[in-house]
């Protein structure tokens, strides 16, 4: 960080010199006393106007709208259209944390105002109000008789890169900061009721501002405020916030917002949180302001302002460190910048009033260097798990809203190619804001911000905050997603499902003829004509001899194509060849039921089934380390961990060690009493190291392996010739590398139902 900081400061020395001269003129009160009252007031108004105007002009120049802002806009749009305060109609998931901001966006939409335009204007207004409020507080908190005509803190706020950046962004950040600072100002003025109202507004704009509300209340109590004032301060919380909180709890069914679970805020992530705070401390210049801030905290430790900072700053910083901070550089620290810079200015004026001119000069020099805008994290860069999000979502046009971002281009492409053609596929993407708002399609958030299942998925390894949980391929399939921005099927099937849209490669999860036809109109279109590919594949079936390859092909074609396309002849041709390779040579495959019609001509023998419930564990001898610390038979940890499973499973994938452990399992002997044995199978594809086998007389008669996918596929073994014999089920996981696990769903013996009609047979 320091290696990036120093060259930036050297290259921008003119800015540091400007701030030093400006501060040198504004700090000494003697210069201001020579002016008349009207002259001082005029200078103050002019400089304040210039500071506000400069901040707004810079903010407009840096205008951007985050993809996260469009998540709120989608909630607002659905509310304005009477579909509920939801992201996907019919799904109550609280994927926002800015209730008042979302309500404001809904009001804009109801009035016919673009919420992006409205949020930019409101954000800039909040920024201007914040600068003016800092100016007022800096003057009010200065030593008696030392009130400045020019506030250094207000100028620093107006030109602070983080503050300016989030003055637009479409996010609630600046509004929450303005509410919190205005609540402090009202507390200093003795207006307890309005202070409480503003504090509650800050919480309902962003929940973590409850820390500021709580610490301000404690500071007021310790500063000798009477009981009536404290009651008036708490009344808005009791009468407004608590009813709102219980309403949202009942409406969504969760105590915390879904983002709390998606970002694993219940866990500690101090290593990343420390990096987040350090990057801000160095990049925003607070390394220079810290001595002055600490000096003010010491001098004003018995005042309301001092107590508020003493309680709120350490507690809030600890909270940020615990949750790992944020992926947006400086965003969660915006509400601290203004009060801390006010404290720095108060310290400067206290030092001057005490005659410590050398300390003032040294502090001004450091602060002037720190006031230089620094790009510690460069545009389009992700560094230390943090990024300057502004560079990814730059505003190209205000009216109409046009954003230079991948998500915006995706949204326009999906709308043009699909929505405008009357098609409404389900999308599974990692950038859900713009895509969801502009297309109004059902969207599965693959990062889990608006998805309850993914948000509650356990984390195997910590990473970039807010991006640690991502939907797996099985979940995408099980959620009936039609188009995904991530690969779903393993090789070679991933090549058969890719298509290009808006210069981005997507995956078609399920084959829908109308969707395919619309996509093929786009330049690039589908990379492979799948219908032609399937016909060519079926024509080559007689030459196919690899039973495991054919089993995986059949699983893929069933999941991708036949689950949505009614082509019984093509399906039966594939299944017939699969059956021919599975049956002994003396059995006529043409007289046997095809797998898709299997359950119509057979009935299960329940007594022979292995469901891998916990009580089934005693039926197996287990060797190996895969299950030394976890259960061998279990329910999937979270919904969508697998696709197409039936209840409990056997899985050699270790929840903490992944594919590393190996294991060998063999069942106790059981009698073969059916005509066919069916089992669900997933996991790695390795017929030697990852397999399930049926052993009769200690010889392997049948075996099967996975397809490098955690989506259950069915395997059928013709066991009729062995009926009455004893058999054992062998499960081997001998691979430690990628896909070094195997998953078995349930094993059932089926009996041919001879009571059916001849046609059904």
Report phi then psi at 545, rounded to 5: -115, -15
- Longest CA span, the chain: 114
Give the pLDDT confidence score for residue 466 in this predicted structure: 85
Give the pLDDT confidence score for residue 88 in this predicted structure: 96
3-state secondary structure of 684: coil
5 vs 481: CA distance, rounded Å: 45
Of residues 108 and 592, the one with the higher pLDDT is 108
pLDDT at 439 over 80: yes
3-state secondary structure of 496: helix
Reported confidence tier of residue 299, pLDDT bands at 50, 70, 90: very high
Q: For tokens 């469009």, what's the residue?
A: 70
Structural contact between residues 601 and 629, judged by C-beta atoms closer than 8 angstroms: no
CATH node for 602-752 = 2.60.120.200
Q: What token pair was written down for 514? A: 């109308």
649 vs 661: CA distance, rounded Å: 18
Backbone dihedral region for residue 327 (phi beyond 0: left; psi -120 to 50: alpha; all else: beta):
alpha
pLDDT at 482 over 80: yes
Q: Cβ neighbours of residue 36 under 8 Å, at least 6 residues apart?
A: none
Mean pLDDT confidence for 256-260 = 94
Residue 733's nearest CA partner among 656, 659, 642, 675 is 659
505: β partners: 500
464 vs 387: CA distance, rounded Å: 10
Report phi then psi at 635, rounded to 5: -80, 150
pLDDT in tens, 42-68: 878 888 899 999 999 999 999 999 999
Count of CB atoms situated within 10 Å of the CB of 217: 22
Per-domain residue ranges of the chain: 2-370, 405-528, 532-592, 602-752
3-state secondary structure of 714: strand
Report phi then psi at 168, rounded to 5: -110, -110
Max mean pLDDT range (32-36, 205-209, 544-548, 644-648): 205-209
Reported confidence tier of residue 760, pLDDT bands at 50, 70, 90: very low
Give the pLDDT confidence score for residue 98 in this predicted structure: 95
Give the pLDDT confidence score for residue 133 in this predicted structure: 95
Max mean pLDDT range (421-425, 650-654, 749-753): 421-425
**Cα 523 from chain centre:** 31
Give the pLDDT confidence score for residue 530 in this predicted structure: 87
172 vs 122: CA distance, rounded Å: 9
662 vs 668: CA distance, rounded Å: 20
Burial level of 378, CB count in 10 A (0-12/13-18/19+)?
exposed
Give the pLDDT confidence score for residue 592 in this predicted structure: 65
3-state secondary structure of 515: helix
Residue 680's nearest CA partner among 748, 754, 633 is 748
Of residues 554 and 589, the one with the higher pLDDT is 554
Give the pLDDT confidence score for residue 145 in this predicted structure: 58
pLDDT at 235 over 90: yes
Q: Cβ neighbours of residue 738 under 8 Å, at least 6 residues apart?
A: 659, 684
pLDDT at 185 over 90: yes
Give the pLDDT confidence score for residue 186 in this predicted structure: 96
Of residues 341 and 615, the one with the higher pLDDT is 341
3-state secondary structure of 571: helix
Q: CA of 574: how far to CAs of 286, 569, 596, 703, 708, in Å?
A: 68, 9, 11, 20, 21
pLDDT at 265 over 70: yes
Reported confidence tier of residue 355, pLDDT bands at 50, 70, 90: confident
39 vs 90: CA distance, rounded Å: 62
Reported confidence tier of residue 627, pLDDT bands at 50, 70, 90: low
CA angle (192 as vertex; 190, 197 as ends), nearest 5 = 135
The secondary structure element, H or E, covering residue 68 is helix 67-80
Count of CB atoms situated within 10 Å of the CB of 85: 18
Q: For tokens 């294991």, what's the residue?
A: 663
Q: CA of 88: how far to CAs of 96, 107, 245, 671, 748, in Å?
A: 13, 19, 22, 50, 38
Q: Cβ neighbours of residue 6 under 8 Å, at least 6 residues apart?
A: none
Give the pLDDT confidence score for residue 262 in this predicted structure: 92
Structural contact between residues 571 and 721, judged by C-beta atoms closer than 8 angstroms: no
pLDDT at 303 over 60: yes
Structural contact between residues 660 and 654, judged by C-beta atoms closer than 8 angstroms: yes
Give the pLDDT confidence score for residue 761 in this predicted structure: 35
pLDDT at 443 over 80: yes
Mean pLDDT confidence for 421-425 = 94
Structural contact between residues 717 and 676, judged by C-beta atoms closer than 8 angstroms: yes
Cα dihedral angle (328, 334, 335, 340), rounded to 10 degrees?
A: 140
Mean pLDDT confidence for 159-173 = 94
Mean pLDDT confidence for 383-405 = 94
pLDDT in tens, 692-745: 999 999 899 999 999 999 999 988 888 888 999 999 999 999 888 889 999 999
Structural contact between residues 450 and 437, judged by C-beta atoms closer than 8 angstroms: no
């Amino acid at each position: 960080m320091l290696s990036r900081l120093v060259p930036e400061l050297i290259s921008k020395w003119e800015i540091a010199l400007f701030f030093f001269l400006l501060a040198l003129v504004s700090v000494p009160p003697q210069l201001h006393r020579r002016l008349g009252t009207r002259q001082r007031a005029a200078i103050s108004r002019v400089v304040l106007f210039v500071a506000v105007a400069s901040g707004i002009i810079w903010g407009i120049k840096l205008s951007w709208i985050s993809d996260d802002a469009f998540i709120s806009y989608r909630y607002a749009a659905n509310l304005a259209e009477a579909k509920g305060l939801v992201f996907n109609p019919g799904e109550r998931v609280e994927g926002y944390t800015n209730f008042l901001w979302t309500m404001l966006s809904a009001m804009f939409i109801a009035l016919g105002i673009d919420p992006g335009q409205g949020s930019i204007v409101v954000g800039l207004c909040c920024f201007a109000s914040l600068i003016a409020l800092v100016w007022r507080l800096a003057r009010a908190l200065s030593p008696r008789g030392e009130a400045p005509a020019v506030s250094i803190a207000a100028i620093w706020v107006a030109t602070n890169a983080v503050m300016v950046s989030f003055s637009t962004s479409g996010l609630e950040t600046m509004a929450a900061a303005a509410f919190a600072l205005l609540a402090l100002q009202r507390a200093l003025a003795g207006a307890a009721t309005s202070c409480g109202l503003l504090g509650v507004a800050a919480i309902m704009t962003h929940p973590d501002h409850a820390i500021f509300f709580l610490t301000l209340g404690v500071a007021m109590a310790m500063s000798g405020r009477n009981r009536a004032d404290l009651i008036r301060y708490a009344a808005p919380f009791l009468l407004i916030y608590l009813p709102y909180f219980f309403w949202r709890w009942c409406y969504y069914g969760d105590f915390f917002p879904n983002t709390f679970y998606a970002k694993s805020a219940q866990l500690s992530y101090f290593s990343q949180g420390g990096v987040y705070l350090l990057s801000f401390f160095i990049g925003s210049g607070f390394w220079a302001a810290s001595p002055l801030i600490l000096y003010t905290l010491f001098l004003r430790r018995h005042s309301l302002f001092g107590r508020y900072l003493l309680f709120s700053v350490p507690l809030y910083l600890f909270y940020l460190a615990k949750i790992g901070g944020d992926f947006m550089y400086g965003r969660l620290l915006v509400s601290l910048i203004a009060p801390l810079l006010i404290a720095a200015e108060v310290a400067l004026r206290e030092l001057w009033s005490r005659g410590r001119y050398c300390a003032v000069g040294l502090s001004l020099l450091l602060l002037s260097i720190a006031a230089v805008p620094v790009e510690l994290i460069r545009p389009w860069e992700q560094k230390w798990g943090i990024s300057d999000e502004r560079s990814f979502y730059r505003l190209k046009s205000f009216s109409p809203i046009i954003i230079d971002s991948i998500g915006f281009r995706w949204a326009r492409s999906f709308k043009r190619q699909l929505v405008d053609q009357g098609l409404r596929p389900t999308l599974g993407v990692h950038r859900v804001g713009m895509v969801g708002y502009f297309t109004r399609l059902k969207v599965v958030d693959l990062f889990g911000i608006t998805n309850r299942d993914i948000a509650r998925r356990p984390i195997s390894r910590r990473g970039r905050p807010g991006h640690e949980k991502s939907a797996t391929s099985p979940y995408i399939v099980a959620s009936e997603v039609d188009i995904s921005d991530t690969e779903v099927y393993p090789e070679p099937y991933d090549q058969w499902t890719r298509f290009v849209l808006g210069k981005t490669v997507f995956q078609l999860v399920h084959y829908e003829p109308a969707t395919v036809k619309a996509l093929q109109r786009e330049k690039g279109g589908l990379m492979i004509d799948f219908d032609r590919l399937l016909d060519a594949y079926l024509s080559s079936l007689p030459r196919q001899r690899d039973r495991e390859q054919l089993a995986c092909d059949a699983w893929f074609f069933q999941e991708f194509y036949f689950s949505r396309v009614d082509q019984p002849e093509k399906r039966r041709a594939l299944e017939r060849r699969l059956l021919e390779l599975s049956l002994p040579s003396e059995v006529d495959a043409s007289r046997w039921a095809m797998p898709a019609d299997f359950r119509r001509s057979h009935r299960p023998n329940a007594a022979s089934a292995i469901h891998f419930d916990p009580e089934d564990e005693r039926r197996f001898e287990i060797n190996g380390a895969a299950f030394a610390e976890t259960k061998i038979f279990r329910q999937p940890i979270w919904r969508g961990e697998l696709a197409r499973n039936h209840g409990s499973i056997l899985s050699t994938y270790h929840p903490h060690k992944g594919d590393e452990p190996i294991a060998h399992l063999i069942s106790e002997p059981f009698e073969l009493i059916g005509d066919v044995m069916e089992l669900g199978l997933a996991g790695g594809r390795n017929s030697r190291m990852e397999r399930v086998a049926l052993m009769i007389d200690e010889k392997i008669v049948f075996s099967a392996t996975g397809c490098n996918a955690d989506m259950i596929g069915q395997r059928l073994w013709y066991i009729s010739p062995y009926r009455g014999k004893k058999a054992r089920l062998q499960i081997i996981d001998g691979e430690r590398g990628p896909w070094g696990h195997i998953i078995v769903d349930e094993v059932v013996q089926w009996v041919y139902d001879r009571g059916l009609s001849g046609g059904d047979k």
